[in-house]
């Protein structure tokens, strides 16, 4: 009797894990203050980092001219080395106007020369105005960078028209991300200070806030103002002393995220009377923590805030209007709370970090898979990491 050979045993093998597409993130680094770095850092800590191999390259830092130049040269050198070695499937370029755009135009040129797709994320509200004032050669560079992008990301619908007027480009709108506390923060404190966070300066309306505080003195003599951010504090101190409110203003300089959260949780009102903005992270952080906000209707702010529903609008450079709006909220805690609650709900609907991470995921997939973006017509595909 012939023995039957035992059947071969099948060996189960698990499929190799999918490689995450490699995304090079080009923008300011951790030594930079301001909302752009905050937005980048927030998304790089989100679920987006689980879906993509994100590698950050800093082309800007705060400091003296030599330090800035060295950072730009080092960062752009890393961009060149990465795209020339084909170690990026996509480059995610964050830019604003002026020197920022000039640096990022070098990164965009490197992407075009190597055939690497890039997403241009435009943060600065000043880009259209800067473009109009630029020289003809520089305007040509701006048009080339916009046209060459596989996808341009604007902070809100308000910027779609101005950017496409500069150059035809494939554009989408994605707001900035902000963490939203799971539980409502501590109750509003009507006696808390008026707070503004972010870079100090006339473009942010810092001196307008100081003058508004002086106008509030008769009805709210105990109200304090906290202007937390980097920038030149001495002119503001001098202005406050001249107006007789020097003892009621605090200028702590730049403070960290935990200190910002504590400051907002103890505030009565948030105010940001800027002359121009993109979509300020300072405002999003205040809204996420349920603060009533007084802001100007500039940049992408009206795309998020409805006057009288999620905040109060005032004209730029108008301390009297600002004082009147602040008085209305400080004198009516119930209205202030209603605005703060509506603001927090709005942020949860529009700007919560998981929502923005999903939106950027859709942008990346559209470009890498050839479904959207300039390369959609050529059916470009992502390379494996």
Q: Are residues 345 and 198 in the same domain?
A: yes
Burial of 218 (0-12, 13-18, 19+ CB in 10 A): exposed
Instruction: With a cut of 70, say whether residue 188 has pLDDT above it.
Output: no
Does 188 map to a domain?
no
Q: Are residues 200 and 338 in the same domain?
A: yes
Report d(CA 122, CA 153) in Å as an integer: 6
Q: How confident is the model at residue 153 (pLDDT cuts 50, 70, 90)?
A: very high
pLDDT number for residue 17: 59
Q: Are residues 328 and 211 in the same domain?
A: yes
Does 3 map to a domain?
no
Pair 257, 275: CB distance under 8 Å = no
Average pLDDT, the chain: 89
Q: Are residues 139 and 220 in the same domain?
A: no
Tell me what percent of the residues of the chain surpass a pLDDT of 70: 90
Instruction: With a cut of 80, say whether residue 12 has pLDDT above it.
Output: no
Does 307 map to a domain?
yes
- Provide, for the chain, the percentages of residues in helix, strand and coil under a 3-state DSSP scheme, each rounded to the nearest 5: 45, 15, 40
pLDDT number for residue 96: 93
Q: Are residues 169 and 275 in the same domain?
A: no
Q: How confident is the model at residue 373 (pLDDT cuts 50, 70, 90)?
A: low
> In the predicted model, what is the mean pLDDT of residues 308-328?
97
The 10s digit of each residue's pLDDT in 204-223 is: 999 999 999 999 999 999 99
List the alpha helices (DSSP H) in the chain: 35-44, 48-51, 65-84, 99-114, 127-133, 136-148, 160-166, 206-215, 234-242, 257-265, 281-288, 301-304, 319-330, 333-350, 353-368
pTM of the model: 0.86
> In the predicted model, what is the mean pLDDT of residues 136-163?
94
Phi-psi bin for 317: left (phi > 0), alpha (psi -120 to 50), beta?
left
Pair 4, 365: CB distance under 8 Å = no
- Closest to 289 in 3D by CA, of 262, 307, 326: 262
Q: How confident is the model at residue 198 (pLDDT cuts 50, 70, 90)?
A: confident
Instruction: With a cut of 70, say whether residue 23 has pLDDT above it.
Output: yes
Q: Are residues 199 and 329 in the same domain?
A: yes
Domains contained in the chain, number:
2
Does 49 map to a domain?
yes
Q: How confident is the model at residue 187 (pLDDT cuts 50, 70, 90)?
A: low
Does 183 map to a domain?
no
Instruction: With a cut of 70, say whether residue 186 has pLDDT above it.
Output: no
Q: Are residues 232 and 364 in the same domain?
A: no
**CA dihedral over 218, 221, 225, 231, signed as positive or negative:** positive
The 10s digit of each residue's pLDDT in 66-92 is: 999 999 999 999 999 999 999 999 999
Q: How confident is the model at residue 30 (pLDDT cuts 50, 70, 90)?
A: confident
Q: Are residues 358 and 344 in the same domain?
A: no
> In the predicted model, what is the mean pLDDT of residues 364-381?
64
Does 204 map to a domain?
yes
Residue 333: CATH number of its domain: 3.40.50.2000
Q: Are residues 32 and 155 in the same domain?
A: yes
pLDDT number for residue 197: 94
Q: Report which of residues 303 and 373 the model is more confident about.
A: 303
Domain boundaries, position 77: 22-177+353-377
Q: Which residues contact 111 (CB under 8 A, 6 or more apart)?
A: 83, 91, 93, 117, 118, 148
Pair 268, 192: CB distance under 8 Å = yes
**Window from 107-111, 156-160, 316-320 with minimum mean pLDDT:** 156-160
> In the predicted model, what is the mean pLDDT of residues 291-318?
95
Instruction: With a cut of 90, say whether residue 64 has pLDDT above it.
Output: no
The 10s digit of each residue's pLDDT in 351-369 is: 999 999 999 999 999 999 9
Does 316 map to a domain?
yes
Q: How confident is the model at residue 383 (pLDDT cuts 50, 70, 90)?
A: very low
Report d(CA 237, CA 213) in Å as an integer: 13
Q: Are residues 40 and 78 in the same domain?
A: yes
The 10s digit of each residue's pLDDT in 247-280 is: 999 999 988 888 999 999 999 999 999 998 888 9
Instruction: With a cut of 90, say whether residue 46 has pLDDT above it.
Output: yes
Instruction: With a cut of 80, say whether residue 14 has pLDDT above it.
Output: no
Does 6 map to a domain?
no
- Closest to 238 in 3D by CA, of 251, 229, 253: 251
Q: Are residues 220 and 173 in the same domain?
A: no
Q: Are residues 339 and 366 in the same domain?
A: no
Instruction: With a cut of 50, say whether residue 379 has pLDDT above it.
Output: no
Instruction: With a cut of 90, say whether residue 125 has pLDDT above it.
Output: no
pLDDT number for residue 370: 82
Tell me what percent of the residues of the chain surpass a pLDDT of 90: 76
């Amino acid at each position: 009797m012939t023995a039957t050979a035992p059947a071969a045993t099948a060996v189960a093998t698990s499929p190799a894990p999918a490689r995450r597409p490699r995304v090079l993130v080009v923008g300011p680094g951790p030594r930079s203050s301001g909302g752009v770095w905050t937005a980048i850092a927030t998304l790089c800590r989100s679920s987006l980092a689980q879906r993509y191999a994100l590698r950050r390259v800093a082309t800007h830092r705060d400091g003296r001219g030599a330090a800035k130049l060295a950072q730009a040269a080092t960062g752009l050198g890393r961009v060149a080395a990465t795209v020339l070695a084909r170690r990026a499937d996509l480059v995610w370029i964050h830019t604003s106007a002026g020197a920022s755009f000039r640096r990022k135009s070098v990164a965009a040129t490197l992407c075009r020369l190597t055939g690497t797709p890039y997403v241009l994320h435009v943060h600065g509200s000043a880009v259209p105005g800067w473009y109009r004032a630029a020289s003809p050669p520089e305007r040509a560079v701006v048009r080339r960078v916009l046209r060459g992008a596989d996808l341009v990301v604007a902070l809100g619908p308000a910027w779609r028209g101005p950017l496409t007027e500069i150059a035809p480009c494939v554009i989408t709108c994605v707001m900035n991300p902000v963490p939203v506390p799971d539980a409502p923060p501590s109750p509003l404190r009507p006696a808390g200070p008026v707070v503004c966070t972010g870079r100090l300066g006339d473009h942010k309306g810092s001196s307008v806030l100081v003058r508004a505080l002086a106008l509030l003195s008769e009805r709210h003599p105990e109200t304090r103002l906290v202007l937390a951010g980097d920038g030149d504090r001495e002119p503001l101190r001098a202005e406050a002393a001249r107006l007789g409110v020097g003892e009621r203003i605090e200028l702590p300089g730049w403070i960290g995220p935990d200190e910002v959260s504590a400051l907002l949780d103890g505030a009565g009102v948030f105010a940001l009377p800027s002359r121009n903005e993109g979509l300020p992270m300072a405002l999003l952080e205040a809204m996420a923590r349920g603060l009533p906000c007084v802001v100007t209707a500039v940049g992408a702010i009206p795309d998020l805030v409805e006057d009288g529903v999620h905040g109060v609008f005032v004209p730029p450079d108008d301390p009297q209007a600002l004082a009147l709006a602040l008085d209305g909220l400080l004198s009516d805690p119930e209205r202030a709370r209603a605005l703060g609650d509506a603001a927090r709900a709005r942020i949860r609907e529009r700007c919560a970090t998981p929502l923005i991470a999903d939106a950027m995921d859709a942008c990346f997939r559209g470009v890498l898979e050839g479904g959207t973006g300039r390369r959609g017509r050529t059916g470009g595909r992502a390379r494996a990491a």
